[in-house]
Amino acid sequence: MSNEYGADQIQILEGLEAVRKRPGMYIGSTSGRGLHHLVYEIVDNAVDEALAGYCDTIQVFINKDNSITVIDNGRGIPVGINHKSGLPAVEVVFTILHAGGKFGGGGYKVSGGLHGVGASVVNALSDWLEVEIYQGGKIYKQRYEKGHVCYPLKIDGECDKEKTGTKVSFKPDATIFQETTVYEFDVLKQRLREMAFLTKGLKIVLTDLRVEEGEEPIVREFHYEGGIKEFVTYLNRSKTPLYQDILYFEGTKNGVYVEVAMQHNDSYTESSYSFVNNINTPEGGTHLVGFRNALTKTFNDYARNNKLLKESETNLTGDDIREGLTAIVSVKIEDPQFEGQTKQKLGNTEARSAVDNIVSEQLTYFLEQNPTVAKLICEKSILAQRARDAARKARDLTRRKTALEGMSLPGKLADCSDKDPANCEIYIVEGDSAGGSAKTARSRATQAILPLRGKILNVEKARLDKIYANAEIKAMITAFGTGIHEDFDISKLRYHKIIIMTDADVDGAHIATLLLTFIYRFMPELIKQGYVYMAQPPLYKLEKNKKVWYAYSDDELNAILAEVGRDQNNKIQRYKGLGEMDPEQLWETTMDPEKRILLRVTMNEEAESEIDLTFTTLMGDKVEPRREFIEENAKFVKNLDI
Ligand code: 1YM
């Protein structure tokens, strides 16, 4: 360790100590999410270098010990002395809080992680961090431990004169990231893919080195010359496009660089994603408002001028035009202002008019040049308008009914007696017969049962009027109590656990998918706030010498058999469905809060466009040994294709 830095250095270390004391303030949280943020912070600096035009390849490695290495082929972080601090610029970047930003001058920093605090925060929260810079035929190197400089920047060998770039390796500090220090390949993969889409031409390669001895590393490469146009194609990959073109608008106005790509598909849901400086803005903001204004105005003008909409007919609404639309709205702006509760909503007013102007002008031109596409979109919007009118009437009717009759709960619901939602659970059960068993088995005070008959409606493939008319969906909406869409109110939720219980077979998995799709589309907050679970019924029952075991997978059955011995005294029953269990068995294996296994449904909000629903295990104390294979099992439902 060097102690030659004097007063400046003391100041610096205090800065980073602040980060270690309150990591959440700088990276949002110290959960798995924060852990992954560290990678994005470092990658962001490399992406900035790409946006400045000096770098075209970024490599990210997950090393065997869950440390991370990021390499770019940009100019390399400057190694010259920074006059203000008397330190090499690279040391300032890694040891001074809030360094980065508008630093070396020239160009503006456009990407930037959660709070744009960058490399020094990663350094502060790492057990160790090493940076290598390739410049002028030399390799410069410096190492830090928990943010402290280990030695002054040194020259550590030579490299090809032509080679330039930066390599950063770090290992997150396990005393800070107490929940987990294990990186998830899929989480990094999704965000890095998104970054590659948003930066056309940039190649990002992700490599997972945590494989068995002798096995090949897992490598994914993301490189899109078409940028967000290819992003739209990717998002529509499992849908049927309404027309072949991807509409693409681009330009700069009021200092805002605007890029929009869009295409309609034959579904009824909108999938628009907005970004500011490559960061997702799930709550939208001025850029999205500008985009929507432009769409609504331009399509209504076009439809009127071309007599697709009669004078007597009302204007198309934004929702009508955006039915089945997949769109990416990406702006780059020098000084983004974020507002709203989670600071994820863009506030800059110049972004609204920039997006509005650019989209209006270029979309008007496109529609004039492509009358066939224009007509297809207008016709779909007009159909949407009619369906929406019908849906509104149906909904008004139910609203009026509710007002008249009070909130009448669905007849099939066996409600619980406790009225405190925090204590209450509702089991959504596949089939009337399993529903019957569950009603007998349940703990009446806190467990409600709602049986559903057969396959529920696929909300991806139905218009609103049909959805509102569906009995199973109506039953769920009234039972949950929250309402949907603009009426949604989480404080009215009647159960803090919504548990989906389906057979452990392909049909059951399909029904679970349909239910999750409905919840995700109509009440996403329930998933975001962790209220939705999957029950885990067993696959086998083993009886031997009056003792009973339940196995939740083939592997577990084998493990139990290995323990108790394979002989003729074993009585094995394979459950084909929930209906085969008597109420007692159902209670014991799947519903008893002391013993059951529940998987909580979560989503990777970092890469919202992937809608990745995953499941995390929650269970009673007595089932500890089951953890491993249940997590194995959970993988098959990991990437629900919804
Ligand atoms: C693997 C991480 O950090 N690359 C990187 C960072 C910088 C530069 C190039 C860079 C920027 C500028 C000039 C400039 C940074 N430099 C600074 C600072 N990869 C990674 N590649 N020359 C090189 O912005 O003018 C901060 S980041 F402040 F030192 F200039």
Which tens digit of pLDDT belongs to each residue from 78-117? 999 988 889 999 999 999 886 444 333 333 444 444 334 5
Q: What is the pLDDT of residue 390?
A: 82
pLDDT over 90 (residue 341): no
Residue owning the nearest CA to atom 20 of ligand 1 = 46
Q: Ligand 1 centroid vs 104 CA: distance in angstroms? A: 8
Strands 81-82 and 87-88: antiparallel
Residue owning the nearest CA to atom 4 of ligand 1 = 46
Q: Ligand 1 centroid vs 607 CA: distance in angstroms? A: 25
The Cα–Cα gap between 467 and 458 comes to: 9
Q: Is 590 in the pocket of ligand 1 (CB under 6 A)?
A: no
Q: What is the pLDDT of residue 613?
A: 54
Count of residues making up the chain: 642
Q: Ligand 1 centroid vs 103 CA: distance in angstroms? A: 8
Short-list 549, 573, 531, 554, CA closest to 636? 554
pLDDT grade for 610, boundaries at 50, 70 and 90? low
Q: Is 126 in the pocket of ligand 1 (CB under 6 A)?
A: no
pLDDT over 50 (residue 609): yes
Residues 6+ apart with CB under 8 A from 31: 177, 179, 180
Q: Is 68 in the pocket of ligand 1 (CB under 6 A)?
A: no
Query: Relative to the CA of 58, which ligand 1 atom is closest?
Result: 1
- The residue among 473 and 316 whose pLDDT is bigger is 316
Residue owning the nearest CA to atom 13 of ligand 1 = 104
Mind listing the pLDDT tens digit for each residue in 402-412?
554 445 788 88
Q: What is the pLDDT of residue 111?
A: 44
- The residue among 549 and 609 whose pLDDT is bigger is 549
Q: Please report, as a single letter, which amino acid is at residue 43.
A: V
Q: Which residues are catalytic?
A: 430, 503, 505, 507
Count other C-beta atoms under 10 Å from residue 3's C-beta.
7
Q: Is 93 in the pocket of ligand 1 (CB under 6 A)?
A: yes
Mind listing the pLDDT tens digit for each residue in 446-464?
999 999 986 688 887 788 7
Q: What is the pLDDT of residue 105?
A: 34
Q: What is the pLDDT of residue 175?
A: 96
The Cα–Cα gap between 97 and 461 comes to: 50
Query: Relative to the CA of 82, which ligand 1 atom is closest?
Result: 29
Residue owning the nearest CA to atom 12 of ligand 1 = 104
The Cα–Cα gap between 233 and 454 comes to: 34
pLDDT over 70 (residue 642): no
The CATH number of 228-387 is which of 3.20.20.10, 3.30.230.10, 3.90.1640.10, 3.30.210.10? 3.30.230.10
Mutate to test the pocket of ligand 1, among 41, 42, 49, 58 (most ligand atoms within 8 A of CB): 49
Q: Please report, as a single letter, which amino acid is at residue 271.
A: S
Mind listing the pLDDT tens digit for each residue in 408-435?
788 889 999 999 999 999 999 988 888 9
Sketch the domain layout of the chain as residue ranges.
17-223, 228-387, 418-537+575-603
pLDDT grade for 225, boundaries at 50, 70 and 90? very high
Residue owning the nearest CA to atom 10 of ligand 1 = 77
Short-list 80, 59, 78, 79, CA closest to 70? 59
pLDDT grade for 13, boundaries at 50, 70 and 90? low
Query: Relative to the CA of 118, which ligand 1 atom is closest?
Result: 27
Q: What is the pLDDT of residue 121?
A: 94
Q: Is 194 in the pocket of ligand 1 (CB under 6 A)?
A: no
Segment 553-563 shows an average pLDDT of: 88
Mind listing the pLDDT tens digit for each residue in 71-80?
999 999 999 9
Fold of 17-223: Heat Shock Protein 90 (3.30.565)
Distances (CA, A) of 22 to 30, 125, 176, 183, 243: 10, 10, 10, 22, 51
Q: Is 74 in the pocket of ligand 1 (CB under 6 A)?
A: yes
Residue owning the nearest CA to atom 7 of ligand 1 = 77
Q: Is 565 in the pocket of ligand 1 (CB under 6 A)?
A: no
Residues 6+ apart with CB under 8 A from 75: 49, 54, 55, 135, 164, 165
The Cα–Cα gap between 278 and 199 comes to: 8
Q: What is the pLDDT of residue 627?
A: 36
pLDDT over 50 (residue 330): yes
Q: Which CATH architecture has domain 418-537+575-603?
A: 3-Layer(aba) Sandwich (3.40)
The Cα–Cα gap between 567 and 262 comes to: 63
Q: Ligand 1 centroid vs 522 CA: distance in angstroms? A: 43
Task: Provide the β-strand partners of residue 232.
Answer: none
Q: Is 166 in the pocket of ligand 1 (CB under 6 A)?
A: yes
Residue owning the nearest CA to atom 14 of ligand 1 = 104
Residue owning the nearest CA to atom 23 of ligand 1 = 77
CB 281 within 8 A of CB 346: yes
Q: Ligand 1 centroid vs 78 CA: distance in angstroms? A: 7
Segment 544-558 shows an average pLDDT of: 88
Short-list 271, 416, 372, CA closest to 329? 271
Segment 591-607 shows an average pLDDT of: 82
Residue owning the nearest CA to atom 17 of ligand 1 = 77
Q: Ligand 1 centroid vs 49 CA: distance in angstroms? A: 7
Q: Ligand 1 centroid vs 165 CA: distance in angstroms? A: 9
pLDDT over 70 (residue 619): no
- The residue among 408 and 325 whose pLDDT is bigger is 325
The conformation of residue 589, written as its DSSP 8-state character, comes to I
pLDDT over 90 (residue 150): yes
Mind listing the pLDDT tens digit for each residue in 479-514?
999 887 777 889 999 999 999 999 877 788 888 888
Q: Where are the beta strands (DSSP E) in 209-309?
A: 218-223, 247-253, 256-264, 271-276, 279-280
Please provide the average confidence, as pLDDT, over all residues in the chain: 86
Q: Is 78 in the pocket of ligand 1 (CB under 6 A)?
A: yes
pLDDT over 60 (residue 624): no
- 13-22 b/e with 16+ CB inside 10 Å = b? bebbeebbee
pLDDT grade for 27, boundaries at 50, 70 and 90? confident
Residue owning the nearest CA to atom 24 of ligand 1 = 104
CB 125 within 8 A of CB 171: no
Q: Is 75 in the pocket of ligand 1 (CB under 6 A)?
A: yes
Q: What is the pLDDT of residue 117?
A: 52
Segment 377-396 shows an average pLDDT of: 86
pLDDT over 60 (residue 313): yes
Q: What is the pLDDT of residue 98?
A: 64
Q: Is 551 in the pocket of ligand 1 (CB under 6 A)?
A: no
Q: How far is CA 169 from the centre of its chain?
A: 26
Mutate to test the pocket of ligand 1, among 40, 67, 77 (most ligand atoms within 8 A of CB): 77
Q: Is 53 in the pocket of ligand 1 (CB under 6 A)?
A: no
pLDDT over 70 (residue 306): yes
Q: Is 588 in the pocket of ligand 1 (CB under 6 A)?
A: no
Query: Relative to the CA of 168, which ligand 1 atom is closest?
Result: 1
Residue owning the nearest CA to atom 6 of ligand 1 = 77
